[in-house]
Amino acid sequence: MKVYIETKRLILRPLTPEDAEAAFRWCSDPDVNTYLYYPLYHQVEDVRTWLESRNPDDPDVYDEGIVLKETGELIGSGGLSFHPERNAWEIGYNLRADQWGHGYTVEMLNALMDHIRKIRPLEAIDGIFASENYKSQRVMEKLGMIYVAETKFSKLDGSRTFHALYYRRNFLQPSKRCSICAQIHRIRRKDNPYFVWELETGYVVLGDHQRFEGYTVFICKEHATKMNQLSAYARMAFLKDMTITAEVVQRAFHPDDLDCELISAEKSRHMHWHLFPKHNGDTPRSGPAWLAEDLNDDRYIPTPQKLEELKQALITQFKQIR
Ligand SMILES: [Zn+2]
């Protein structure tokens, strides 16, 4: 499909036969080609023929030109193509070798996924890459994909066969049976008064009962009840987001102590951190916040005015810390 999307550093736009010379720079580079299905191109004319043969209106294929905003140069192409038999979108990309290592591929794919989601469901993404191609593994991990299986693939001309890894990410589909999905759905509709802030891997909300003023919950976006269900990248990002949240709660409410607990009960489906800001003497005895018997007493449900005040205290700190 034809798109025109601007991201922070890139423009994604349709490729045309006029791009043949620019595309030849990566299509003819053996380093770029090493792990691709497609053969190396030796003539600009062959690249032009390939560009002319593409159908830019195929609704199942988003294969776009990647332009660097800063210089206006076309530096690569890539995107996602839908595979109905797997109900998943497979990712693919090739980038000029002098542009590797800047995160452009991840930026491009995230923008395209956001675009596709506005038009149709995007339930999963798949990627298959040669196991020795650690750069692609990094891309998959940054996209939150996790290892599924070992496999292999051959170049189209049969010249090489690679031992390969198959990675996948299943996206959260709102589930009627999941109360946290319902909460997230309301956050996305801007209809959740407890919502405070969105981080890369989760949402920050205020707790329903404010027995400990400033009690905050950080909820994982994914259906994951254990850390090992997240990709290596997402795991570290989730922990980093939690420490940011803890720091924000600390700065906003200046507690003497901050209880942080990761709850990963199977039935909640989204693991989440509880952060209780505690002050000396606010419980009859020391120990975890859970020991306070009146933790969920209705008199601790905040008034709309109080809720707003607590939210603003956190938002002010989130804006400063990032
Ligand atoms: Zn859910």
CA of 102 to the centre of ligand 1 (A): 33
What is the number of structural domains in the chain?
2
Quick check: 252 and 215 in contact, CB under 8 A?
A: no
Task: Check residue 113 and give its pLDDT.
Answer: 95
pLDDT at 215 over 90: yes
Torsion angle of C-alpha atoms 180, 216, 236, 111, degrees rounded to 10: 60
pLDDT for 97 equals 96
Same domain, 114 and 86: yes
State the Cα–Cα distance between residues 134 and 234, nearest whole angstrom. Answer: 17
Among candidate residues 124, 142, 170, the one where a domain is terminated = 170
45 Cα: distance to centroid of ligand 1 (angstroms): 51
- What is the distance in A from the centroid of ligand 1 to the CA of 181? 4
Q: Rounded CA gap, 113 and 95, in Å?
A: 18
- Is residue 24's pLDDT more than 80? yes
Q: With a cut of 90, say whether residue 78 has pLDDT above it.
A: yes
Q: Let me know: does 153 contact 164? Beta carbons within 8 Å.
A: yes
Distance 264 CA to ligand 1 centre (A): 13
CATH number at residue 300: 3.30.428.10
Global pTM reads: 0.64
Q: How far is the CA of 107 from the centre of ligand 1 (A)?
A: 26
Tell me which residue range forms the domain holding 189: 179-321
Nearest 5°: phi and psi at 276? -105, 110
Residues 209 and 301: beta-carbon distance below 8 Å? yes
Centre of ligand 1 from the C-alpha of residue 177, in Å:
8
How much is the pLDDT for 62? 96
The CA 221 to ligand 1 mean position distance, Å, reads 8
CATH code, domain with 114: 3.40.630.30
- Residue 267 C-alpha to ligand 1 middle, in angstroms? 10
Specify the pLDDT at position 174: 62
Q: Are residues 192 and 155 in the same domain?
A: no
Residues 152 and 213 in one domain: no
Residue pLDDT, tens place only, 258-272: 999 998 866 778 999
Ligand 1 center–CA 144 separation, angstroms:
17
Query: Do 165 and 184 fall into the same domain?
Result: no
Shared domain for 25 and 162, answered yes or no, is yes
Asked if residue 38 has pLDDT above 70, the reply is yes
Same domain, 209 and 166: no
Query: How is residue 37 written in tokens?
Result: 């299905």
Q: Residue 172 pLDDT more than 70? A: no
pLDDT digits 0-9 by tens, 87-128: 899 999 999 999 999 999 999 999 999 999 888 878 899 999
Q: 291 CA distance to ligand 1 centroid (A)?
A: 28
- On the question of pLDDT at 84 being above 90, the answer is no
The pLDDT value given to residue 182: 83
| Residues 20 and 162 occupy one common structural domain | yes
**How far is ligand 1, taken at its centre, from the CA of residue 252, in Å?**
29
